Structure 1
Amino acid sequence: MNKIKINLDILLPDVPNEKDACVNRIMSELKDVHGIEGMHIVPEQSHAKAQFCFHYDPSIISVEKVTEIAQQAGAKITKRYRHWVAEVNGIRHQRQTKLIETVLQNEKGILAISASAAGTIAVEYDTHNISLDKIYVLLEKQDLQILNKHKPALPKVVPIAEPPKKSTHEKHEHKEGEDHEHDHAHGGIFGKNTELVFSLACGALIGIGWGLSFIETLPPLIPKILYIVAYFFGGYFTAKEAVQTVAKGGFEIDFLMLVAAIGAAILGSWQEGALLLFLFSLGHALEHYAMEKARKSIAALTELAPKTALLKVEGQTKEVKIEQLKIGDIVVVKPNTKISSDGIVVKGSSSVNQAPITGESIPVDKTAIDNPDVDPKEATKLDAKHRVFAGTINGNDLLEIKVIKEATDSTLSRLVKMVNEAQTQKSPTQQFTDKIERVFVPAVLILVTLLCFSFLVIDEPFSKSFYRAMSVLVAASPCALAISTPSAVLSGVARAARAGVLIKGGRPLEDLGTLTALAFDKTGTLTEGKPKLTKIQPFGTLTEIQLLKIAVAVEGLSDHPIAKAIVRDGKEKLGNEEIPQAHDMEAVLGKGIKAALGDNQIFAGNLTLFESLDEAKPSDDITQAVKKAEAEGHTTMLFRKNKEYIGILAVMDTPRQEAKETLAQLKQIGIRKMVMLTGDNQKVAEAIAGEIGITDPMGSLLPEQKVEAIQKLAQQEGKVAMVGDGVNDAPAMAKSTVGIAMGAAGSDVALETADIALMGDKLLLLPFAIGLSRQSKRIITQNLVISLGVVAVLIPLTILDIATIGPAVAAHEGSTLVVVANALRLLAYKNKQAPAAG
């Protein structure tokens, strides 16, 4: 039996990772192919994408045929199943999203739909049964105005988390279709504030009518007319939404409130009915206003990028739309203006404010790359000082930038898209509240129906039974419950994005704050990711300066990373000292190098080199000095001039400057276990761990062993987060409760694979993210207690006639506003140490 491995991104180019449902679909497509005996997914150790491993019988089918069939199946799936995300106007509250989901979910070809009160729709559909144009029409029938309708799609969409399923055999998509355009948000003659104006007019008419009722000489009909007019202003939007909802087969709180108001009018209680409509419409208007504030916080991201760029063509510049920029174009960025695209600085130097993308408060110095003809595809390998992002702000100097990403694929565009998608993903708490509502609402309707007929059991008129039933109906409406979690998730995601932390939905937002264990990749996460000269130990009468001159001269002939580190840091220490010229460098036994310096032969390498080189072995003292340095986590280079040992230089991948402080903060907020996973030997791991405060260093790990370590840690602690760069750490991230990518700005892989992406390369964002998560969790809990508590108190009070419709609706709308206002506190969350979990 033979095997062949094919990269996931070759067969399914739009699938972000092996968790996607289309991975199972392609397996289903291929399982019955004669000659293919089996297939499974294996993590690619040096890439983010997984691989398909096919087991086939070479006597039946060739490797070329296996590849051809697999690629045909992948193309078939990619072409058929689509995933489209768009921003819309017209969603005014959380309850409306459920109606939209219910109506569209029943359309043939729509496999899953998720709507956010923030105005984002995510749809998965089968192109064999429904077109994107038909989806536009369906959404517009729901009175939604689709934004940016004719703009090109953004690439590589992340699948919706836990979408509702129709059946086990249905499929979904991966390519976004197109975004949308629109003219004006929901409103009326006073624009978006029409409902608030109508509500205040209703309240004014009630107040005037109530005041006039005390004038005995005035006919009672006049206050009554004012109350009737108040009905119009207070009930206009309520009636409009109620009719629309019922017409679409829904049964919402607007309809229930309208019935209660009509019932009050039938009973002659015009003032009380008008008061109900006033409070309900005012609550709706204020809820809409409050949620709009959270929406604007996210919408502000889209305004970061400039609309145009100065394109350089044949030495001249012309202004073009950013959508016209192509990879490889050169754009000119004037001082104190926004950078128009992700790119490489090819001319000039300046400080750039990267706060809009990475959250860094201090501008970062950017300089031109030595080779302006560098291939844009190599950009991710370049030093950060040469790379810039769209939406960041140039300092006081002119820059010329080579475009490395088109506008729709820039880091900013991807950030905006993913934040929007995050809003459609329901958190565990929201899924729980949805389950409560599914049971609670029918139970309330049954209770209200029974109370309407209580006059048959209790000696009272029907009017009183009906009035009590309407009061209970108002009291039990779960408006606050419906909005309690989404409003907090929306605010939390928006606040995180503003600080340079991308949180992909409610689940990671909630999970992060419950963690007590974190696993870190070492290289590039806890350490700088590049060796530095850390130890200079000359022997005999030689000085440090003399040893450095010899070492820099000899190592300057080598292109080994350790040699480069010695030369770079050595020259910095030597300053203006003159460095001699070495020559005739050659490798010796693969364990070091030899070079000529004047009339002397200089050898540099590890202990093994000198133990096997000749009879001039290092002394016991020198051997012990080398081993001591290595035990401390250093990589050593022993130097010998002719037969004389002249000194030791040691390099080390040093801890990040903020690593110790970050881990101390994490310990202070209740993270009990902090594990470091590394392929370096255990002594190096322990040396680094002791320096920065890691509790459990684990060295000498292969990539698959890192995955096993995460699984074991998850079994011990229940939940665990994996912090890495999102590339080599992708398999371990996939096995963790929450995958956190460092320095995700500009990295497609990190953005796609992580649940949480720290856009800036800053560890100190981690305590902030955990603190925000815990605050979000607390606010969600508070909101649930408030919303359920008010309902639990009001239902018995209205059944016992202690509270009537007026107080019930006041408490009902009041609790809705309280939970929204409570959630909005997250927008003002400060970057401070978070209290411990639990």
Structure 2
Amino acid sequence: MAHPPAPTSEASASTSDHAGHDHGHAAGLLGERTELYFAIASGVFWLAGLLLGIFADLPESIGIGIFVAAIFFGGYYATIEAYEGVSSGRFEIDFLMIVAAAGAAALGKWEEAGLLLFLFSLGHALEHYAMARARKSISALAELAPATALLKTPDGGTSEVDVEELAIGDVVVVKPNSKIPADGVVISGNSAVDQAAITGESVPVDKIAVKNPDSTYVLADLPAEHRTFAGTINGSSVLEVRVLKPARDSTLAKLVTLVQEAETQKSPTQHLTDKFERYYVPSVLIVVGLLLLAFLVIDETFGQSFYRAMAVLVAASPCALAISTPSAVLAGIARAAQKGVLVKGGRPLEDLGSLTAIAFDKTGTLTEGKPKLTTVLPAEGVTRQELLATAVSVEELSDHPLAAAIVAGGREELGKVPASRASGLEALTARGIRAEYEGATVHIGNRRLLEEITGADIPAEINRQMTELETGGHTAMMVHRGDRYLGIISVMDVARESAKPTLAALRKLGIKRMVMLTGDNQRVANAVAKEIGITDPMGSLLPEDKVAAIQRLKDEEGRVAMIGDGVNDAPAMASSTVSVAMGAAGSDVALETADIALMADRLDNLPFAIGLSRAARRIIQQNLWISLGVVAILVPLTMLGIASLGPAVIAHEGSTMVVVVNALRLLGYRAKPALS
């Protein structure tokens, strides 16, 4: 299909059912807002009947006719949904409202029956509007992908095709200020691309072409500057992109599907309220039935007993309770998606904010995930440039990852490739490498290698510097040419720039324990932990050791989150209370395994996610207090006859609107400046 899948009717219905209302009939003669227009019409007729009854001397039959019109428009959708509920063996809120209105009309209280259904239908419509607004902020993702793409043809031209026709390996041309049609790799051109819709990044990301356009690439393994996502917006220059995923499997399509699934996932509080309602509604019906017979016991007429029973029925109907949690959950998921945080349902949304301990994978989560040249220490009488030129010339012959880091860092500092080139590279197992450079033999390696070739101990100063670097978590190597030491170079997987401020923000949020799990030795773990503020560094761990560590943390703290890349950390993430995947954009495994996915490779979105979770929990609790509080106050007052049907209607429906508006505040959630 040309676009990622739109929300399915099943998903929408399931989500709406969380609210206790299906709204499957909301689209009518007047479009999506038919229900709202009916509610307004009900209000107009009710107000007209009230004013004409006060200021005009109309026959009673005309006044009743006007209120009947108000009842018709206000009760139209509620009657349909009540019928469907009863047909399925469910006695839900709509049924209670229709019975209450019918009872009031039977007593001749046409005005109050009209008011009840007007306010109920208005609340119904506003609830529908609010939920639709929250859902639209998510489902709008489905509209981001363009319907067509400019496919590059063998003769160098282009032809316009549907994006569904694109196959892996095709090359598409992306014009300036147009949408990128597919997940892929940039093979020509450079431009700044707006990725906010996918990753939540507020600043456009610079894209450049890969050096080898004809090589085979995997989207998740590509650096950010080379990969593109369907639905993102190109900047001011033309790009050529080789397609790596078909439209149906794009990151955008998967994101839309996962968010739709998240909408249907109930939170712990929602499960609790559902269970409460299952017993509560029948109990209300039984109490109302008993109140109808009150005239047999106390000195009042059947009409008085009937009226009070209907007032209690209205007061006790749990409309606000039904919508209090799902409205907040949906608004929270929508707000998170706008920021590039995918939350898979109500449970992780609620759980994340309750944690006091978080475990982090080190490599790729707290660190950059790739080694960098960190230290260049020339020996006495040797220039920094001589040491770097020698090391770069030799290491560029090697395919070792550490060699690549030395070459990249050295060339960046030198500004150009050294004039002389090394030759005859030989790998010396567990010790280092050897090569010929400028007529002399160069050795780069550890103490064992240098002691072997010199037949002497390592010079004291060089040995001291090596020990100091190793204690700090660096991988240090000595460089020796001919008969002299040139100095020491070291590499290290350095901490992300955002790691230290992010952990500081988490401490301000009350996260007491921040644990780092890594396969690196404990010395490296301690060095990284000291630099960025980790409280519990745990090194030399195998994957099964990480799982055991998570279990211990759960025993000690009750709940723990695990932050990783969703691949090698999957077992530990599965064992945690809430699992969070880093850099999930483009990574199928990360998207599928985690409860929460940070779409951009940005650790600093974690405090936002935790803050949003806590805000959602607060709003859910507020909504529960409002909804249950109104019921707890109104039911006794109506049972004792202190509150009549009119005030019960206003208070009841007013509380429903209040909890909906309160939940919608999450759509505007912003992290506090100190935590941003």
TM-score band, normalised by the shorter chain? over 0.9
Q: Which residue of 1 aligns with 2:103?
A: 263
**Separation (CA, whole Å) in 1 of partners of 2:130 and 2:208:** 43
Q: Which residue of 1 aligns with 2:614?
A: 774
The SS at the match of 1:707 is helix
**Separation (CA, whole Å) in 2 of partners of 1:97 and 1:804:** 30
Q: Is the 8 A contact 2:6 2:142 kept in 1?
A: no
Residue number among 322, 339, 345 corresponding to 2:186 in the alignment? 345
**Separation (CA, whole Å) in 1 of partners of 2:607 and 2:561:** 13
Residue number among 313, 336, 343 corresponding to 2:153 in the alignment? 313
**Separation (CA, whole Å) in 2 of partners of 1:635 and 1:643:** 24
Q: Is the 8 A contact 2:424 2:436 kept in 1?
A: yes
Say which structure is richer in helix. Answer: 2
The SS at the match of 1:214 is helix
The SS at the match of 2:104 is helix
Q: Is the 8 A contact 1:618 1:645 kept in 2?
A: no
1:87 aligns with 2:8: yes
Q: Which residue identity is paired with 1:386? A: H
Q: Give 1:590 shift.
A: 3.8
Cα 1:810/1:216, change in 2 over 3 Å: closer
Q: Give 1:523 shift.
A: 0.7
Residue number among 115, 122, 125 corresponding to 1:282 in the alignment? 122
Cα 1:833/1:431, change in 2 over 3 Å: farther
Cα 1:216/1:639, change in 2 over 3 Å: closer
Q: Is the 8 A contact 2:191 2:234 kept in 1?
A: yes
Cα 1:513/1:481, change in 2 over 3 Å: same
Give CA-to-partner distance per residue, 1:579-637, whole Å, 9 cap, x none. 42222221234411111222222111011212233413312232122111100111111
**Separation (CA, whole Å) in 2 of partners of 1:700 and 1:216:** 88
Q: Which residue identity is paired with 1:692? A: I
**Separation (CA, whole Å) in 2 of partners of 1:197 and 1:389:** 40
1:322 aligns with 2:243: no
Q: Is the 8 A contact 2:19 2:323 kept in 1?
A: no
**Separation (CA, whole Å) in 2 of partners of 1:216 and 1:208:** 11
Cα 1:89/1:645, change in 2 over 3 Å: closer
**Separation (CA, whole Å) in 2 of partners of 1:216 and 1:552:** 98
Q: Which residue of 2 aligns with 1:254?
A: 94
Q: Is the 8 A contact 2:18 2:326 kept in 1?
A: no
Cα 1:477/1:539, change in 2 over 3 Å: same
**Separation (CA, whole Å) in 2 of partners of 1:409 and 1:832:** 36
Q: Which residue of 1 aligns with 2:197?
A: 356
Q: Which residue of 2 aligns with 1:473?
A: 313
Q: Is the 8 A contact 1:287 1:817 kept in 2?
A: yes
**Separation (CA, whole Å) in 2 of partners of 1:484 and 1:701:** 44
Give CA-to-partner distance per residue, 1:438-463, whole Å, 9 cap, x none. 12112111111110000011010001
The SS at the match of 2:368 is strand
The SS at the match of 1:311 is strand
Identity fraction in percent: 60
Give CA-to-partner distance per residue, 1:476-531, whole Å, 9 cap, x none. 11111111111111111111111111111111111100011111111111111111
Q: Give 1:345 shift.
A: 1.0
Q: Give 1:549 shift.
A: 1.4
Q: Is the 8 A contact 2:18 2:323 kept in 1?
A: no
Q: Which moved more, 1:664-673 or 1:571-580?
A: 571-580
Q: Give 1:719 shift.
A: 0.5
1:311-460 pair list within 5 angstroms: 311-314=151-154, 315-376=156-217, 378-460=218-300
Cα 1:753/1:790, change in 2 over 3 Å: same
Q: Give 1:87 shift.
A: 1.4
Residue number among 436, 447, 450 corresponding to 1:610 in the alignment? 450
The SS at the match of 1:280 is helix
The SS at the match of 2:371 is strand
Q: Is the 8 A contact 2:123 2:656 kept in 1?
A: yes
**Separation (CA, whole Å) in 2 of partners of 1:217 and 1:709:** 81
Instruction: Report the aligned-residue RMSD.
Output: 2.1
Q: Which residue of 1 aligns with 2:503?
A: 663
Q: Which residue of 1 aligns with 2:336?
A: 496
Cα 1:216/1:496, change in 2 over 3 Å: closer
Q: Which residue of 1 aligns with 2:626?
A: 786
Unaligned runs of 5+ in 2: none
Q: Give 1:361 shift.
A: 1.0
Q: Which residue identity is paired with 1:380? A: A
**Separation (CA, whole Å) in 1 of partners of 2:68 and 2:196:** 54
Q: Which residue identity is paired with 1:730? A: A
**Separation (CA, whole Å) in 2 of partners of 1:702 and 1:93:** 41
Give CA-to-partner distance per residue, 1:690-744, whole Å, 9 cap, x none. 1111111111111111111111111111111111111110011011111111000
**Separation (CA, whole Å) in 2 of partners of 1:578 and 1:643:** 21
Q: Which residue identity is paired with 2:8? A: E
TM norm structure 1: 0.77
The SS at the match of 1:654 is coil
Give CA-to-partner distance per residue, 1:664-711, whole Å, 9 cap, x none. 101111010001111111111111111111111111111111111111
Q: Which residue identity is paired with 2:182? A: S
Give CA-to-partner distance per residue, 1:305-345, whole Å, 9 cap, x none. 11111112222212111111111111111111111110111
Cα 1:270/1:834, change in 2 over 3 Å: farther
Q: Which moved more, 1:382-391 or 1:187-196?
A: 187-196
Q: Is the 8 A contact 2:191 2:206 kept in 1?
A: yes
Cα 1:588/1:195, change in 2 over 3 Å: closer
Residue number among 376, 382, 385 corresponding to 1:545 in the alignment? 385
Q: Is the 8 A contact 2:396 2:403 kept in 1?
A: yes
Q: Give 1:415 shift.
A: 0.4
**Separation (CA, whole Å) in 1 of partners of 2:89 and 2:599:** 44
1:638-657 pair list within 5 angstroms: 638-657=478-497
Cα 1:673/1:307, change in 2 over 3 Å: same
**Separation (CA, whole Å) in 1 of partners of 2:658 and 2:76:** 24
1:578-727 pair list within 5 angstroms: 578-727=418-567
Q: Which residue of 1 aligns with 2:365?
A: 525
Cα 1:96/1:746, change in 2 over 3 Å: closer
Q: Which residue identity is paired with 1:726? A: G
Q: Which residue of 2 aligns with 1:65?
A: none
Q: Give 1:651 shift.
A: 0.9
Q: Give 1:202 shift.
A: 2.2
The SS at the match of 1:528 is coil
Q: Is the 8 A contact 1:89 1:186 kept in 2?
A: no
Unaligned runs of 5+ in 1: 1-83, 100-116, 120-142, 145-184
Cα 1:589/1:331, change in 2 over 3 Å: closer
Q: Is the 8 A contact 1:593 1:604 kept in 2?
A: yes
Q: Which moved more, 1:200-209 or 1:813-822?
A: 200-209
Cα 1:281/1:380, change in 2 over 3 Å: closer
Q: Is the 8 A contact 1:90 1:186 kept in 2?
A: no
Q: Is the 8 A contact 1:767 1:833 kept in 2?
A: no
Cα 1:226/1:560, change in 2 over 3 Å: same
Q: Is the 8 A contact 1:93 1:288 kept in 2?
A: no
Q: Is the 8 A contact 1:774 1:834 kept in 2?
A: no
1:194-205 pair list within 5 angstroms: 194-205=34-45
1:830 aligns with 2:670: yes
Q: Is the 8 A contact 1:772 1:834 kept in 2?
A: no
TM norm structure 2: 0.95
Q: Which residue identity is paired with 2:168? A: I
**Separation (CA, whole Å) in 1 of partners of 2:529 and 2:489:** 22
| Greater relative contact order (Cα < 8 A, sep 6+) | 2
